[in-house]
Amino acid sequence: MTILDFTAVVAIVSFVAGLLGSLTGLGGGVVLVPLLTIFFHVDIRYAIGASLVSVIATSSGAAAAYVKEGFSNIRIGMFLEIATTFGALLGAFLATRIPTSALAIIFGAVLLYSAYLSRKPRPLDQRNLPPDPLATKLRLNGSFPDLEGERSYNVQHVPTGFSLMFGAGALSGLLGIGSGAVKVLAMDQAMRIPFKVSTTTSNFMIGVTAAASAGVYLSRGYVDPGLAMPVMLGVLAGSLLGSRILVKAETKSLRLVFSVVILVLGLQMLYKGFWGKI
């Protein structure tokens, strides 16, 4: 395959991944690394480098649209970014030291977990939770516009959420993904942040988290311009289009299709990792 053909095909695949990732809310980065390694025979380290760059593009590109709605909480975001950026830095250093087969196995496990999580209904927002002293001290509690007017919320279990976000950051740095699945676990399940607030806040955090490991990846030579270019441009275009048509699209069946794709790719990555084919 010539560079021209390769670039065109990778750009199209990245575009579709970005579009589906944005429409389903599952993120495009998580399918890119397995697609690049399994179907394009790209070394997993190059694939991770390219995917990481595209994660920053999607997060920053969507930020302006998210912000207008007024759901995100910059204090929650900034406080948890201490955990995610620190984790991301550690993850990126680990990625340069562990064998690629181990990377593939961890990746496979994260994909399976994401597929499982995408089929599970979101926990219902719990209202009128008592204020947590630590969350109050850190000024994490807030409010957001709801159908019935301004709705306030009290953040719970701050230490658990903070630790989980460290893990999310480490996975992001290790695998070059946004690790939305772990963030859901931390922000929705542990900290009980309302769905709308956690989604928009975590979108903001993903870009900052990825930037923390991107420097390490770039300086270690994992970011190849020829590969990162079609991935970044494709994913960015796809996700921007996705965020425009989001309202009209029927996302339920799309979500099912996409989670099956994630499941299959996860099994493939596990297989490749365990049989040393990567």
Partner 1 sequence: MPAAQAPAPHPLPPQPQPWDDHRIEVILGNLLRAGVLISAAVVLWGACIYLFRHGHEPADYRVFRGEPSEFRTIPGVIQSVISGRGRGLIQLGLLLLIATPIARVAFSIIGFAMERDRMYVAFTLIVLAILLYSLLGSGLGV
Residue ranges binding partner 1 (CB under 8 A) = 1-7, 40-43, 45-46, 53, 56-57, 59-61, 63-68, 70, 72-75, 78-79, 81-82, 85-86, 88-89, 92, 138-139, 207-208, 210-216, 218-230, 232-233, 236
Query: Which residue lies nearer to partner 1 by CB, 64 or 147?
Result: 64
Assign 228 to helix, strand or coil.
helix
- DSSP letter assigned to residue 26: S
Question: Any idea which residue has 């542990």 for tokens?
Answer: 190
Q: How far is the CB of 38 from partner 1 (least distance, A)?
A: 13
For 60, the token pair is 């920053």
Query: Which residue lies nearer to partner 1 by CB, 70 or 123?
Result: 70
How many whole angstroms separate alpha carbon 55 and alpha carbon 32?
A: 10
Query: Which residue lies nearer to partner 1 by CB, 121 or 159?
Result: 159
Torsion angle (degrees, nearest 10) of CA 71, 73, 74, 80:
-130
How many whole angstroms separate alpha carbon 101 and alpha carbon 273?
A: 4
Q: Which of 210, 174, 166, 29 is nearest to 93 (CA)?
A: 174
Query: Which residue lies nearer to partner 1 by CB, 190 or 210?
Result: 210
> What burial letters (b/e) apply to 187-209, b meaning 16+ CB within 10 Å?
bbbbbbbbebbbbbbbbbbbbbb
Answer left, alpha or beta for residue 41, where phi above 0 means left and psi between -120 and 50 means alpha: left
Query: Which residue lies nearer to partner 1 by CB, 23 or 205?
Result: 205
Q: How far is the CB of 141 from partner 1 (least distance, A)?
A: 13
Q: How far is the CB of 19 from partner 1 (least distance, A)?
A: 16
Query: Which residue lies nearer to partner 1 by CB, 65 or 112?
Result: 65
